[in-house]
Amino acid sequence: MNTYGYIRVSSRDQNEDRQRNAFRELSIPVNHIYMDKQSGKDFDRPSYKRMVRRMKKNDVLYIKSIDRLGRNYGEILEQWRILTKEKEIDLVVLDMPLLDTRRGKDLIGTFLSDIVLQVLSFVAENERTNIRQRQAEGIAAAKERGVRFGRPPRPLPEHFCEIYRLLESGKITGKAAAEACGMPLSTFRYRVKVYQENTNNRIF
């Protein structure tokens, strides 16, 4: 029997120390700790796949929390089934002691473990859905207050006002004006629109 630990963080700048420290306390060999830094939306994870191929029957896999397996209710349950049923690996979720397949291997123990797993998987996915909804609502409310997101626009060229007046007077076309400002026509039209809104001018 060998022990393994799996770490997943959802972005390159997210810190994995909390998960790694937990495995260090369990004395899991360093070469038995696998980590992927990418989204949990699917299981296209190189380290995870290598770890699963390496593990044998009766090995023990530790994860810090159930959502390290994924961010989708169905996929979490499917991976749990593959690991515990097909690979016959024991799985331990450190943040939830009830999810420890080493305990209660009789029918009742397995039944209770499966129920807890399904409830926690649903709760984890539902919480992420709520977070996304709150984020969307927050963004919408901020936009209504005039908050702008994304990169700030580049400063207008020094001669933009002069080009704008030539365009307004009909002396040059929109395409020629955009080229003179070094912008694609679509970008130029957008910047003109913003300029008009700020100066109450209209030419289109």
- H-only helix segments in 5-149: 17-25, 46-54, 73-81, 107-144
The one catalytic residue among 10, 39, 47, 65: 10
CA distance 55 to 66: 19
Angle between the N-to-C axes of helices 73-81 and 107-144, in degrees from 0 to 180, rounded to the nearest 10: 150
**Non-local CB neighbours of 156 within 8 Å, separated by 6+ positions:** 181, 191, 195
Residue 10 is among the residues annotated as catalytic for this protein: yes
CA distance 142 to 129: 20
Residues identified as active-site: 10
